[in-house]
Structure 1
Amino acid sequence: MMGLVFILNIIADLQLEDLNKMNKLISLCMIVKNEEQVLNRCLDSVKSLVDEIIIVDTGSTDETKEIAQRYTNHVYDFKWINDFSAARNEALKHASGKWILILDADEYIQQGDYTELRKMLTNFSPPAPHGFVIRIFNITGNNNANIMESTGGRLFINNLGISYHGALHEQLRTTEGAALPYTPVDLTVYHTGYTDQTLEEKNKSQRNMGILLGMKEERKNDPYFHFVLANEYKNKGDLDEALSLYKKSMQRTDPDHSWYMHLLDRIIQITLQKKMFRETDHYIRLGLKKWPMHTDFHCLNGILLEQFGYLERAYKCFETCIELADLHEKKNQPYWLTQINYARLIPHQMMAKIAFTLNNNQQYVYHLTSILNMDKNNVSIFKTLLQVLLANETTKNIIPFIEKLYPLTHSHHTLLLLRSAVACGSQELTQYYWDKCISNQVDYSSIDELAVGLLLQFNSKITIGTPELPMPTDLLLCAALVNDDRSFLEYISIDERDHANELYQQILNSIQSEKQCQLLISVSSSALMISFLIRLYQNHYHVLFDHLVSTIDDASFINNLASDLISLGYSEVGITLLSILLDNNQIQAEGFKILGTYSCLLGNIEDGISLFRNSLEIEPAHDLLGFVATWGSEDAHRSFYNHYQSKFNQNELPNFLPLI
């Protein structure tokens, strides 16, 4: 009798185990290796959605397995054989849920209420293999600067013969080798595996390239394979090979394939970079024809038009992007395909650039502010905005506006506003936020103390003690000369110290000499000298600035200095320097273009176009044609184009030229 009870208990336990398996709705399956930095984030984001976590480790040497074991008992070892499908299929073997969700450790899901998703998955029992496509936001570049959208079949039914195929960028297939039918589902995944930091730490491109090259012969007719391989060449900087492979992929890719939009985007990016603008235009047309109600190709079209100086037409393209984004957002509809930045951020950046060129300060401020509302960490944009405000508003009006953007309830905001005021050379605003830092006991650096002292021109000598940060060379050079104290140069990094000492001695000799002594700027010291002179000007040492510039008999250097001053908002002094160069027949192509734009803005159209012609003769620039179109007559535009087109390779010129 005891034997019978024992057997019945075993049967009951097995039935309970089967019931528990059936009750598991979603199994998360992952493969990992050395993911201790990100695994917690991934598993925390998904633990309320899934019922089971399966983790296959392919050889971690850090704390990855220990972290995984805090979340699940299902952690398995698998020897890495250079095949992602083999590893993923090992994870699938252990999954007991009705549905399988695939994530990588450098991904995490958007938090939300998944009751409806789980209800749908519970009620949906497809008789044949089936999967769901989810949205993936790929965060790329430095400081998570770019977001590119893609989709992926990451959620699929279990136990119907579905498995992975392909050593890299593996694809789900049925037992018969067919692709799965997919439907979209409301689930968003964020992927950080292609930020600059992660790529550097994990050397992903080199790993991927090795696997892909081993598959090249086997998949020589596969357009998706060529697209993926091209991506790796693009990541390593081999744009020629990447473009060749993208075009090879394009030959066999159907416009309805999921990667088609990304393929167009990559080709457009590379042809823009390589100045193959005729091809750029062709691929933009393909994108606009298929997706006229999405922002991506309108934005790229605007970038191309701006490249050729058609500022008003480009501006309208960027306006269209923002209008489409606003329209579809109200309807809760998608409005971008590959990069969310094509919808608003890049359009506002480009419209700000156009507004600056056209000297439209109202639009310039609006677009700079719009950029900051999307990305408050963009310090360079804030400094640019502050520079414009300081030129057009009183400090009293500026303070509440910028403190609305950066409330002083955060001490780092006080420091940001101080540093920005210093960078813009505003003594009044610098004094205000320096006092705020002192009264609120905000921690500032020795760089801050030195920079503030130079700008406010403290009577006492500035002492910096032992700096806790590397000190900017141009700042130390400025401090040494203004305070007549060479000891500041001791804090300059060793690799720049010789150049700085050489410049210091030359400048000192020029200042102390009774006769005007010419400054000879070497190529290796040119960038430092320009930074130093700009800092002098920003800090209101205008007499010393004027004296030193008058001693430099190097037209190329003065051309570069003038252009940099204008780009930083110091247009008056920059235009003055260019005008002197023009009078002495020493002006370069960029200077002619700047003065041509300046003349047109003042209403001197004929003079402006003449200056554009001079620029074209010295160094042809693509945007000159559009500049003539912006300000000149149709006849002037056609006349200019006749000479303009002879200066370029025909593949550099889009078919739409000239735009009348």
Structure 2
Amino acid sequence: MLLSLCMIVKNEQDVLARCLDSVKAIVDEIIIIDTGSTDHTKEIAYTYTEHVYDYVWTNDFAAARNEGIRRATSRWILVMDADEYFPPVEAERLRAFLENEAPRKDTVFAISVVNFVGASQEQSTLTTGEIPRLFPNYYNIYYTRPIHEQLHAIDGTNLMFRLAPSSLFHTGYLQETIEAKDKLNRNANIFTELKKKTGFSAYDYYTIGNENGVKGDTANAIYYYERSLKKAASQKSVAWYPRCVVSLLQCYFKQNRLHDAWTLIETNLVNWSQYPEYHCMKGLIYFHLGFFEQAKVSYLDAFQSAEKLAETTHVFWLDSANYASSIPLRLLADIADLEFDTEKSIYYLTKLLMQNPYDYRAISQLIDYSSITQSPDAIVPLLNNIYEQHNRKHEIFMLKVSLSVGSEELAVHYYEQLKDVTVDLEIQDRLGFALITHNQVMFEEQLLTMEEDWVPSEESLIYLAIGALVWKADYCDRLKVPKEHELHKTYEAYRKFVGGEAPEKTGAIYPLLTRCYLYKFYEMYDQLVNTYSDGELINSLANFFYSKKQYEVALNYYSILLRSEELNAMSCENLAIYHLNHQYIDDGLDFLEMTIAKRPAQMHLYVLYLQHCPRGEKKRKFLKDFTFKFPQYRKIPALAQLVSQSEKS
């Protein structure tokens, strides 16, 4: 037999079938070690293999994995977790690779693991790592270490790691999975035992940093990553080392420690300057500081370095392929947006969507920007280049987006494409379509299809509240949202709006207003604004219209706020950028000063000011204040150069 799959599982009924379905055609043997499941995991496992064994958990992942390895009888062993799965093509590629590969006692293979990280798979970002998971049987290769276990040859052979030409997906870092399985507390207990027994290695510090990063504790993540890099100063050749550098940089960005990030890039990550991460990280710093021209160059360098590496290897990144594609494209689109270059924005957003058609922010912006100069009929061919026609998943997604951005014409187009399967649409989408087309009869027909115990989403509540307000009906009263439900307060606020009452201060009015405007219920919009407006709400609406490129409406609201001295920081910054880009320099600088007063720690505001402020006493005074507040500017060459040039002017 060619390949044995070895797994350890516990309470994996939700994902085990997905995992085994993805590999059952390419493995000859499946061995499952169950460490105490209390759900239907073992029943599911038995439908795929008779080799299911109970194992008493001892807080040691290596020991549990080795229990499966010792039972394997194939030439090769593949190790997977239940929350992983292969795309079909990748699984077939792995089998074909092994059929032509001779086992060697000193060689094991890593597989590229694509991690979904975020609240849910639909709202996740992707990271990639190469993890040793494939090795020859009968060469005394087993796992060591109780957590984040590693392969080791019992006879002392130094193992070489090569990359197998295959990738798999991993959903175990999704927040919903972490919370459901209490992974962080489980791992913390294992680490505590490990520290008592042997102390922490550099790799341990790295993995503990990852644990803290996953739970959002950035300060502790930085502490452990820094300890890891210091302890591993002589181990830079290990595969995880550059990923630790990238993870530390990500944490520095979260804390706005750009000078520390720059130092780490140029003293450490520079050792991997042939990879896109080096250039992309520099570009991120330039972007956050407002050096857009330098940022563009760095992002293009990231593309080029990836293309060059791709000529010789299919893994052309250190931590994630996103640094060679989606991150530079996203930020290039953002720069074009800040520079009021709609054509370039559309270009970069289109390229971004070619790589990830489900990037909701990108497709929303693309539709908004395209609508400035094109009719909906002209936008459809552009979208057809990205989304497959007659692909139900794509059409449903585009219907949802069309409803969200308020494009009635596009919503009608995609609803027509789905007319044979509209019964399969979520009720919120059917309600939204009835509302955007101002079809009260259809709206009420959809309400009749609601299950008695149906609890709506936030989107559905918005639709119901607007329908009730516009058509003077009691739609909200047909629902019961339990007090313990997370949407109960929103539901109660909407009921009060519908009843003409003023609820306690709440942000719930903002989504009602924006959706009323987008769906062209202008009379209701005006009525709500006049009834419930305050400075905070008007700022939100002004910035909403600014983001939608409806500058005339936005500027009207900004004028009201300016007169009442209620502009918030975002409004001030938008006004500053708008005026500077339209060459109203004095007004732009005045708004920048107002923004800096509200956001004194944002260095990019100072950069923008120095770039536009003309020579004179005012600039010298501002420069003096800046260098006093941010003495670390000297660590970033572009910033130091800007200061030097400003001092001479």
Same fold (TM over 0.5): yes
Match for residue 478 of structure 1 among 466, 472, 475: 466
Cα distance in 2 for partners of 1:548, 1:36 equals 48
Which residue of structure 2 aligns with residue 135 of structure 1?
112
Q: Is the 8 A contact 1:480 1:489 kept in 2?
A: no
Which residue of structure 1 aligns with residue 199 of structure 2?
220
Cα distance in 2 for partners of 1:259, 1:276 equals 23
| 2:306 is aligned with 1:325 | yes
Which residue of structure 1 aligns with residue 135 of structure 2?
156
Which residue of structure 1 aligns with residue 251 of structure 2?
270
Which residue of structure 2 aligns with residue 4 of structure 1?
none
Cα distance in 1 for partners of 2:323, 2:364 equals 23
Q: Secondary structure at the match of 2:390?
A: coil
Match for residue 390 of structure 2 among 400, 409, 415: 409
Letter in 2 for 1:149: T
Match for residue 193 of structure 1 among 165, 172, 180: 172
Q: Is the 8 A contact 1:473 1:492 kept in 2?
A: no
Which residue of structure 2 aligns with residue 252 of structure 1?
231
Matches within 5 A, 1:160-239: 160-175=139-154, 180-239=159-218
Which residue of structure 1 aligns with residue 626 of structure 2?
644
Cα gap change, 1:404 to 1:442, in 2 (>3 Å): farther
Matches within 5 A, 1:356-375: 356-375=337-356
Q: Is the 8 A contact 1:309 1:625 kept in 2?
A: no
Q: Is the 8 A contact 2:4 2:28 kept in 1?
A: yes
Which residue of structure 2 aligns with residue 499 of structure 1?
493
Which residue of structure 1 aligns with residue 554 of structure 2?
574
Which residue of structure 2 aligns with residue 95 of structure 1?
72
Q: Secondary structure at the match of 1:258?
A: coil
Cα distance in 1 for partners of 2:442, 2:55 equals 66
Q: Secondary structure at the match of 1:137?
A: strand
Q: Is the 8 A contact 1:135 1:150 kept in 2?
A: yes
| 2:599 is aligned with 1:619 | yes
Matches within 5 A, 1:450-599: 450-457=431-438, 463=444, 465-466=447-448, 468=450, 469-470=456-457, 472-488=460-476, 490-491=478-479, 493=481, 494-504=488-498, 506=500, 522-523=504-505, 525=506, 527-542=507-522, 545-546=525-526, 548-549=528-529, 554-599=534-579
Cα distance in 2 for partners of 1:230, 1:652 equals 29
Q: Is the 8 A contact 1:59 1:80 kept in 2?
A: yes
RMSD, aligned α-carbons: 3.5
**Deviation digits for residues 593-612 of structure 1, max 9, x if unmatched?**
11111111111123212221
Cα gap change, 1:396 to 1:233, in 2 (>3 Å): closer
Matches within 5 A, 1:346-357: 346-357=327-338
Q: Is the 8 A contact 1:447 1:467 kept in 2?
A: no
Cα distance in 2 for partners of 1:492, 1:564 equals 31
Identical-residue share of aligned pairs (%): 29
| 2:84 is aligned with 1:107 | yes
Which residue of structure 1 aligns with residue 293 of structure 2?
312
Q: Is the 8 A contact 1:476 1:492 kept in 2?
A: no
The unaligned stretches of length 5 or more in structure 1 are: 1-23, 508-519
1:577 deviates by: 0.7
1:249 deviates by: 0.9
Q: Secondary structure at the match of 1:194?
A: coil
**Deviation digits for residues 30-50 of structure 1, max 9, x if unmatched?**
333333444444445445555
Cα distance in 2 for partners of 1:652, 1:580 equals 41
| 2:326 is aligned with 1:345 | yes
Q: Secondary structure at the match of 1:163?
A: strand
Letter in 1 for 2:579: S
Which residue of structure 1 aligns with residue 646 of structure 2?
none
Match for residue 605 of structure 1 among 580, 585, 600: 585
**Deviation digits for residues 28-69 of structure 1, max 9, x if unmatched?**
433333334444444454455555444333233344445444
Q: Secondary structure at the match of 1:616?
A: helix
Cα distance in 1 for partners of 2:426, 2:114 equals 37
Matches within 5 A, 1:375-390: 375-390=356-371
Cα gap change, 1:42 to 1:649, in 2 (>3 Å): same
Q: Secondary structure at the match of 2:7?
A: strand
| 2:639 is aligned with 1:657 | yes
Q: Is the 8 A contact 1:296 1:342 kept in 2?
A: yes
Cα distance in 2 for partners of 1:35, 1:424 equals 38
Letter in 2 for 1:480: A
1:429 deviates by: 4.5
Which residue of structure 1 aligns with residue 54 of structure 2?
77
Cα distance in 2 for partners of 1:256, 1:593 equals 45
Larger radius of gyration: 1
Cα distance in 2 for partners of 1:438, 1:101 equals 45
Q: Secondary structure at the match of 1:337?
A: coil
Q: Secondary structure at the match of 1:382?
A: helix
Determine which structure has greater relative contact order: mean sequence separation of CA pairs < 8 Å that are 6+ residues apart, divided by chain length. 1
Cα gap change, 1:481 to 1:305, in 2 (>3 Å): same
Q: How many residue pairs align between the two structures?
A: 620
Q: Is the 8 A contact 1:140 1:195 kept in 2?
A: yes
1:488 deviates by: 4.7
Cα distance in 1 for partners of 2:141, 2:85 equals 24
Cα distance in 1 for partners of 2:184, 2:29 equals 31
**Deviation digits for residues 209-237 of structure 1, max 9, x if unmatched?**
11111111334351111111222222223
Cα gap change, 1:119 to 1:610, in 2 (>3 Å): same
Letter in 2 for 1:81: T
